[in-house]
């Protein structure tokens, strides 16, 4: 048995004996302090453990009591022993002094020096005399130290006025402290000697007949279990997991999206987006200072992309401008995950035999946008694409409807739109049951031949694609009005811990 356990045994016996003789213990803290027969530095805490254990067994009843009390600080103890700072200043000022000399003399009082001087001045105990020197105006023996007297009352827990307590606290001589104790009375199963009860059915008990004589501790079914400290998934991650599972069930494969930094070539040029397009301006895109340019591009592919931009091909006349390799090599924070789609399609085009593919990605993108309640400079994009022969707009519409139906949006509409790298292009609108209105939920289209031909894909292969943000459906799902409450430094971590599961 450890030393603490032995102390608990003694405390338990003393407590039960007192209850047997007197019927109750009004203050467990006072009882522990006054119990001189038991020695231990943590005696009050150990007694509380004993009381809780006895209460669980029904031997005692215990009611928790909490009280705010005033106690002396380290400075308060000093001024109680030495006297208030203003009284000490009076004693120091035996002869008139100039201000500089007086401040040097009271330096030993620390931070209490200035407040002490203020009190002495306010009470007119000190003031200016001849020659502007500071001198005593009263006899020290005639002044009573009220501060010291009040500190003594606080220490002895005697009654002190609220204003006095406020003044002493302001001067950092006292502080408030919360004290807990228990009021203990006899319980329904009160006894002077506790009978040991078993908490588990052990191998030793079952080997013989000992279990028949053993008393088992009853389960406290009404006691709330202790909350375990565990991690919690962010709402975005919960919705992302659901979307990912849905797309995997639809037969899509996930694309690698671990490149936040992308070259302008893969982010813009391969998508047949002209170099003078407004989206490539610094007002919309984050350009890297270091490293400013990518080190290597695929030479023959670069030439084919350049030719498509300048002269066109496959029925297109291109954009008719001088395409710049330097502009194409600039590094940026990717503005969309379509840059990853472009890389995957190029890789697909160079496989020995073309096979249909269904790809998706869900990851972070960056845009130099004005920040408001629904826009941030970084957000998550959900993107899906299908590459196959004979695809049409009806395949795209059917795939989109199938995906959105699985996330609870049954009514979907489409509106013609423009994108540099898709034709035809469509904006996607869905009726939100939560918001009870039509909302824009994504963008879609068929990748243009000017994008696919330079990659080397067969001419009869089409690619349909669509995309949406992850934040918008998450905000609707969890009822967020401001995106900054969902993502960023203003997020309430407690809210993240308590948010419910995401199910579609």
Q: What is the pLDDT of residues 289-311, one digit of tens each?
A: 999 988 888 889 999 999 999 99
Joined tokens for residue 352 = 């020995």
- Residue 465: pLDDT over 60: yes
Could you read off the pLDDT of 331-353 as tens digits, one per residue? 999 999 999 999 999 999 999 89
Return the pLDDT at 177: 87
Look at residue 486 in the predicted model and tell me its pLDDT: 81
Distance from C-alpha of 233 to C-alpha of 237, rounded to nearest angstrom: 6
Query: Rounded to whole angstroms, how far apart are CA atoms 188 and 55?
Result: 10
Query: What was the pLDDT predicted at 360?
Result: 95
Q: What is the pTM of this model?
A: 0.58
Q: How confident is the model at residue 435 (pLDDT cuts 50, 70, 90)?
A: confident
How many helices and strands in the chain, by DSSP H and E? 20, 14
Which is nearest to 467 in space by CA: 380, 353, 368, 357?
A: 380
Strand, coil or helix: what is 363?
strand
CA separation for the pair 335, 351 (Å, rounded): 28
Name the more confident of 237 and 208. 237
What is the pLDDT of the chain when averaged over all its residues?
88
369 with 478: CB under 8 angstroms? no
What average pLDDT does this structure show over 192-212? Answer: 80
pLDDT on residue 479:
82
428 to 49, 297, 397, 441, 466: CA distances (angstroms): 63, 35, 10, 6, 9
Query: Rounded to the nearest 10 degrees, how much is the dihedral formed by the CA atoms of 197, 201, 207, 208?
Result: 30
The residues, any chain, with a CB within 8 Å of residue 244's CB and separated by 6 or more, are 254, 360, 362
Complete DSSP assignment for 315-362 = TB----S---HHHHHBEEE-S-THHHHHHHHHHHHTSSS---EEEEEE
Q: What's the CA gap between 162 and 170, in Å, rounded?
A: 12
- Whether the pLDDT of residue 499 is over 80: the answer is no
- Mean pLDDT of all residues in 412-421: 90
Structure tokens, 277: 């397009």
**Residue of 202, 294, 276, 244 lying closest to 403 (CA atoms):** 244
Quote the distance between the C-alpha of residue 29 and its chain's center: 38
**Under a CB-based contact definition with an 8 Å cutoff, are residues 344 and 322 in contact?**
no
Separation of alpha carbons 440 and 413, rounded Å? 9
Mean pLDDT of 178-192: 89
Residue by residue, DSSP assigns 400-459 as HHHHHHHTT---EEEEEEEETTEEEEEEEEEEETTTTEEEEEEEEEEE-HHHHGGGT--T
Cα(219)–Cα(223) distance, integer angstroms: 9
Partners of 179 in beta bridges? 67
pLDDT category of residue 425 using cuts at 50, 70 and 90: very high
List all residues 6 or more positions away from 117 whose beta carbon is below 8 Å from its beta carbon: 86, 89, 102, 106, 126
Cα distances from 212 to residues 42, 208, 215, in angstroms, run: 39, 9, 8
Task: Tell me the C-alpha distance between 392 and 415, whole Å.
Answer: 16
Distance between CA 151 and CA 249 in Å, rounded? Answer: 74
pLDDT band at 467 (very low <50, low <70, confident <90, very high): very high
Give the pLDDT band of residue 81 (cuts 50, 70, 90).
very high
Q: Average pLDDT in the 257-270 region?
A: 91
The yes-or-no verdict on residue 282 having pLDDT over 70 is no
Structure tokens at 72: 């002396």
CA 488 vs CA 154, 234, 365: distances in Å:
48, 12, 14
- Residue-level pLDDT at 432: 85
Contacts of 202 (CB under 8 A, 6+ apart): none
Residue 392 makes CB contacts below 8 A (sequence gap 6+) with 462
């Amino acid at each position: 048995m450890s030393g603490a356990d032995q102390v608990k045994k003694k405390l338990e016996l003393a407590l039960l004996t007192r209850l047997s003789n007197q019927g109750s213990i009004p203050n467990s803290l006072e009882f522990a302090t006054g119990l001189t027969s038991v020695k231990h530095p943590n005696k009050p805490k150990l007694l509380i453990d004993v009381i809780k254990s006895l209460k669980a067994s029904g031997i005692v009843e215990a009611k928790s009591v909490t009280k705010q009390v005033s106690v002396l600080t380290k400075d308060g103890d000093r001024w109680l022993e030495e006297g208030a700072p203003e009284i000490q200043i009076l004693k120091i000022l035996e002869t008139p002094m100039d201000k500089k000399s007086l401040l040097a003399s009271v330096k030993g009082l620390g931070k209490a020096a200035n407040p002490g001087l203020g009190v002495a001045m306010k009470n007119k105990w000190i003031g200016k005399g001849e020659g502007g020197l500071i001198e005593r105006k009263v006899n020290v023996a005639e002044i009573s130290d009220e501060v010291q007297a009040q500190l003594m009352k606080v220490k002895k827990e005697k009654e002190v006025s609220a204003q006095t307590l406020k003044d002493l606290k302001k001067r950092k001589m006292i502080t408030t402290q919360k004290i807990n104790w228990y009021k203990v009375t006899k319980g329904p199963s009160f006894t002077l000697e506790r009978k040991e009860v078993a908490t588990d059915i052990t191998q030793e008990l079952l080997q013989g007949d000992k279990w028949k004589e053993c008393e088992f501790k009853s389960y406290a079914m009404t006691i709330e279990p202790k909350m375990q400290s565990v991690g919690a998934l962010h709402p975005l991650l919960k919705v992302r997991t659901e979307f990912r599972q849905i797309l995997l069930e639809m037969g899509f494969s996930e694309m690698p999206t671990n490149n936040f930094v992308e070259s302008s070539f893969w982010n813009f040029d391969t998508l047949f987006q002209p170099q003078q397009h407004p989206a490539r301006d610094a007002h919309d895109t984050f350009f890297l200072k270091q490293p400013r340019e990518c080190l290597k591009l695929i030479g023959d592919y670069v030439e084919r992309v350049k030719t498509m931009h300048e002269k066109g091909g496959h029925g297109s006349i291109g954009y008719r401008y001088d395409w710049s390799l330097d502009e194409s090599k600039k590094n940026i924070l990717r503005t969309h995950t379509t840059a990853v789609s472009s890389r995957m399609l190029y890789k697909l085009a160079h496989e020995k035999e073309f096979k249909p593919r269904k790809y998706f990605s869900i990851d972070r993108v960056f845009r130099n946008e004005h920040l408001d309640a629904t826009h941030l400079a970084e957000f998550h994009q959900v993107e899906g694409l299908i590459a196959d022969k004979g695809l049409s707009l009806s395949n795209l519409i059917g795939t989109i409807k199938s995906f959105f139906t699985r996330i609870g949006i049954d009514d979907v509409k489409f509106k013609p739109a423009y994108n540099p790298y898709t034709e035809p292009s469509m904006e996607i609108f869905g009726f939100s049951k939560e918001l009870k209105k039509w909302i824009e939920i994504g963008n879609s289209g068929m990748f243009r031949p000017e994008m696919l031909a330079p990659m080397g894909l067969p001419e009869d292969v089409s690619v349909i694609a669509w995309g949406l943000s992850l934040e918008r459906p998450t905000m609707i799902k969890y009822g967020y009005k401001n995106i900054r409450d969902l993502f960023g430094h203003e997020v309430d971590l407690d809210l993240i811990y308590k948010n419910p599961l995401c199910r579609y």
